[in-house]
Structure 1
Amino acid sequence: MTKAIQSSVQVGELATGQALTVPLYSFIGSESSAPSVYIQANVHGAEVQGNAVIYQLMTLLEGYQVLGNITFAPLANPLGINQKSGEFTLGRFDPITGVNWNREYFDHQVDVQAWYREHQHLTDNALFQAYRSMLVEACQKRLAQPFGISTGHRLAVNLQTMAHQADIVLDLHTGPKSCKHLYCPEYDIDAARYFSIPYTLVIPNSFGGAMDEATFCPWWQLTQYAASQGRDFSVPVSAFTLELASQERIDLDDALVDAKGILAYLSYRGVIAENVSPAKMARFACYLRDYKKCHAPKAGLIEYCAVVGEPLAAGQPLVNILRIDLYGTDQAFQAISLPMDCVPILHFASASVHQGTELYKVMTKVFALPSV
């Protein structure tokens, strides 16, 4: 039986001098040539289900032959997790700066042309090792820069340092009220067929601030530049964001479903010795440019009519807006619909909204993904 080794990493300090630490669990693989993996959860305080998935996945791995090193970082943001207001967990935005915790990662902006010119004589494996070392060292320099960095950026760069040491990176999140969906870079769209997730957002191969992009973008840039110089290899690093339904929720049975989906992907990549087949299910996708935000045209009390994860035909009600202050007028109630077919993916958690609140995110121009 394979057992995880427990440790921790310090990601900051409280004003009282207490260390902020994140627990780590590591499975040591038996083959150095197998891909290594980094999986984190709970960067946003209320998005706790990823921890349950990590628990179930680690439990499953005890019965498998692990070939590649796997590192888990549950409870990855101790500040956000403990940011409570009454019965609710906040923890989506850094309370000091107001920045989204998942937009604090370091954009390396590597001068790929200059770096490649200096290292092009290396074999592919040596080239990848040198590039990885450069990314890790850049993060370490960022943490030690003389003018310091913000609390949130320090947390993010510490997590990013661990991610840069892996070949596969999975960042586990949830939505407010959401169905499961996957953020997948365009170059790696075939990978979406292995996870137990029905909807995939195909994102550009560019940096937008999140962990998955911070991980794969430098490697995509290296791969593209090398190809322009007549040297072809596949992007060496894969990174995805898994949105595991709704926040403020722990469901261990559902977590087991998602853990098995991750296990199927790790099997496909050769991280474990055993063959694990992906779940038989329909999977659909749309490009990020076709993922639309629907904002409240006016303030009021909201009845969310569209069910997340279920197709919605054009003209069918998305929400009903109640304005009790306008009772007795034709403005007291208004049904809102969209002019195109879509699939609602997530909606705002509160029934009380300001004008302009993002009510829903919906996929349009949806297409089916082929099965494995």
Structure 2
Amino acid sequence: MQKTNNKSKPPTTSQTVYPILFIIGLCHLLNDSLQAVIPAMFPILEKSFGLTFTQLGLITFTLNMVSSVMQPLIGIYTDKRPMPYALPLGLTSSMFGMLGLALAPNFLTILISVLFIGLGSAIFHPEGSRVAYLAAGTRRGLAQSIYQVGGNSGQALAPLITALVLVPLGQFGAIWFTLIAALAVFFLIHISKWYAAQMKAFSNNNIRHTARKPDKKMSRSIKNALIVLVFLVFARSWYAAAISNFYAFYAIENYGLTIAKSQIYVFTFLFMGAVGTFFGGPLADRFGKKNVILISLLAPAPLALVLPHIGPVSSIILLASIGFLLMSSFSVSVVYAQELVPGKIGTMSGLIVGLAFGMGAIGSVALGSLIDLFGLTTTMIAISLLPLLGILTYLLPSDEKVRQWYK
């Protein structure tokens, strides 16, 4: 009984609550594995409904735009009025969307189902990030990495979902993922109880009042830094969207692979991206967030330029390296934004993560159209230039400078 009472006590700001971090990370994995079903179904839907690449891009656009538009709005609202029990409600929406996707008879029904999944994701991400923040203690980079690696691992499951579930079972195989959504709802009810208890002693109001209000000059610097961060997220998201949504088609066309075998390439990229996400946070805690963001984009740039011009074996090695490096800044970007604007945990998480979804959505439609117009190879060569935008990281203020702003 004494053990339970200790667990129910709110943490001090120096404590890292690992059980909560691991559970919210697992829920992030379950949530994003539901989203991973959608791009995983692309080859199935293309054959079943005769969809064009533009229509496939529109499906991703619907999913990601709902998430990207709603996430910052939900973050702004919950920064003022936290909503712990919105977490299980969000995954309930995703569960209904997954049911609709499994039974969809036409393209319009697919889009409506995807909308429900996107809404559930939009609700989950800002509040899930707040849970990670509350449980982080002094290790914010590590905490955000544990949370985000769950999501990236869920996304990495897409190729396995295609090969093991959707290829043998077809579109109806998506029905099994309603059980995954139900499992996430169960865990999130527990998380919501813990979250609600913390707000009495560790509320956003307390966090917000500890920060010095920025003057006009500092406000301008913060806005400029956020604009630069937006461009960096843009570059990362468009490139990741190209690989995760369309590289399977590129491998099929250029290497003569089956649908199942082509998924190995995408899985390699996404799995190593999840590994990079995990290591990025602890590295940022030690070496600085700006440094990790810089290396994350510039280091894979030459590899991305070479990728469209090599053979099937070498491309797997490059995809692993690019995925690890590129996604190592995913969680770091969120923490950097949260420290730029203290007290706006949900807003900054919604902005950066939601922006990643939104940019990926716009990128999917644009890339799908470019593929229809110019072909896969030409488009893949063009997008290989995107990581070079990492040079903009030099315009970001250093971690030390951001800390000095709020002393």
Quick check: TM above 0.5?
no
Between structures 1 and 2, the one with greater helix share: 2
TM-score normalised by structure 2 residue count: 0.29
Higher-Rg structure is 1
